[in-house]
């Protein structure tokens, strides 16, 4: 039996990229450490702060909510509110959001549910087939930001994993969109509540493992409009042969982003500009 490097108990994970073998307790601590490292890059949360967490019924956002609750367990002055957005995708989203609301209830986190139909008068199902994914992405960003600002949240936390961030970084390189490097660290232009991605240093596989261990595996159904991204296949192949590739890629992009400016700012948009683009988005 393989034993935990730190305490000798039975392992739940072997990390090829670090060489570590960890039991459940030390795996949880390792995941929380990675989240704290990301949170340290943002400003520490002040007394009486509120964090909005985007929750979608998938294992990543459920893992995010549970881990933030665990990390801030002793911060009684810090409030967490979950935001659920119904894009209007039949056979997919209603079930996911029912699950998400149960997760929030189980973790004793208050939640707010918003919908495309209520905000924009149209569901994603009814949008132009060519524009569905863009409409969905931009609309969700707008609704999450609207709700986070309305709550006066100090930050809006979303569930992107290391795999998501590395994929975005490689896509930027492959498309030659070097002007987009800064967006890996900055919030979208129409955001006031700073966007944070606490799971961005945690591999998706470990996010899934954490969720399974803690009974939060989430809905298995996929968005019917989602496409398989070739970039992910390339990255998975590299990661299998060279463990740590995703970390290396993300670190390289973060260093370049640091050279481009401070985190969570938007050099192009003033607060007035936010109001204009926000209204346009809604
Ligand atoms: Zn251990």
Map tokens 């909005």 to a residue.
Answer: 52
The residue ranges of every structural domain in the chain are 46-281
Mean pLDDT of the chain: 85
pLDDT at 185: 57
210 forms beta bridges with none
As a whole number, mean pLDDT of residues 55-78 equals: 93
| Cα 195 from Cα 185, distance rounded (Å) | 9
Q: From ligand 1's centre to the CA of 245, what distance in Å?
A: 26
In percent, the amount of the chain with pLDDT more than 70 equals 87
The crossing angle, in degrees rounded to 10, of helices 93-106 and 59-71 is: 20
Question: Cα 182 vs. chain centroid, distance in angstroms?
Answer: 17
pLDDT at 23: 98
As a whole number, mean pLDDT of residues 226-242 equals: 84
Q: Is the pLDDT of residue 274 over 80?
A: no
Q: What is the pTM of this model?
A: 0.85
Q: From ligand 1's centre to the CA of 32, what distance in Å?
A: 14
As a whole number, mean pLDDT of residues 77-99 equals: 91
CA distances to 92, 152, 240 from 81, in Å:
23, 11, 37
Q: Look at 121-135, 141-155, 195-209, 254-268 and tell me which has the smallest mean pLDDT.
A: 254-268
pLDDT at 151: 93
Structure tokens at 273: 């500009």
Name the fold adopted by 46-281. Answer: Rossmann fold (3.40.50)
In percent, the amount of the chain with pLDDT more than 90 equals 56
Residue 177: CB partners within 8 Å, gap ≥ 6?
none
Q: From ligand 1's centre to the CA of 6, what distance in Å?
A: 5
What sign does the dihedral 207-208-213-216 (CA atoms) show?
A: positive
Q: From ligand 1's centre to the CA of 208, what distance in Å?
A: 19
Order of strands, sheet of 111-115, starting from the edge strand that comes earlier in the sequence: 111-115, 79-86, 50-54, 155-157, 195-196
Q: Which of 64, 74, 255 is nearest to 155 (CA)?
A: 64
Confidence of residue 269 (pLDDT cuts 50, 70, 90): very low
Q: From ligand 1's centre to the CA of 37, what distance in Å?
A: 21
Q: Is the pLDDT of residue 107 over 70?
A: yes
Q: From ligand 1's centre to the CA of 26, what distance in Å?
A: 5
Neighbouring CB atoms inside 10 A of 33's CB total 12
Q: From ligand 1's centre to the CA of 12, what distance in Å?
A: 9
Q: Choose from 18-22, 75-79, 235-239 the range with maximum mean pLDDT.
A: 18-22
Q: From ligand 1's centre to the CA of 119, what distance in Å?
A: 48
pLDDT at 184: 59
């Amino acid at each position: 039996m393989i034993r935990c490097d730190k305490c000798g108990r039975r392992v739940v994970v072997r990390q090829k990229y670090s060489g570590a073998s960890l039991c459940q307790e030390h795996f949880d601590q390792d995941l929380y450490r990675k989240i704290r490292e990301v949170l340290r890059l943002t400003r520490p949360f002040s007394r009486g702060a509120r964090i909005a967490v985007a929750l979608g019924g998938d294992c990543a956002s459920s893992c995010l909510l549970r881990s933030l609750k665990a990390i801030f367990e002793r911060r009684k002055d810090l409030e967490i509110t979950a935001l659920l957005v119904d894009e209007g995708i039949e056979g997919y989203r209603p079930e996911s959001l029912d699950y998400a609301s149960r997760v929030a209830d189980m973790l004793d986190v208050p939640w707010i549910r918003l919908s495309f139909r209520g905000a924009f008068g149209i569901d994603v199902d009814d949008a132009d087939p060519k524009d569905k994914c863009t409409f969905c992405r931009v609309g969700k960003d707008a609704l999450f930001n609207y709700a986070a600002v309305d709550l006066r949240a100090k930050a809006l936390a979303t569930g992107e994993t290391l795999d998501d961030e590395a994929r975005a970084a490689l896509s930027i390189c492959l498309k030659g969109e070097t002007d987009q490097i800064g967006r890996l660290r900055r919030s979208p232009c129409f955001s006031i509540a700073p966007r944070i991605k606490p799971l961005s240093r945690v591999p998706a596989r470990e996010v899934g493992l954490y969720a399974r261990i803690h009974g939060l595996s989430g809905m298995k159904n996929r968005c019917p409009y989602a496409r398989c991204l070739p970039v992910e296949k390339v990255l998975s192949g590299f990661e299998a042969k060279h463990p740590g590739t995703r970390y290396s890629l993300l670190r390289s992009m973060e260093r370049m982003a640091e050279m481009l400016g401070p985190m969570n700012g938007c050099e192009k948009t003033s607060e007035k500009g936010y109001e204009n683009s926000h209204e346009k988005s809604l």
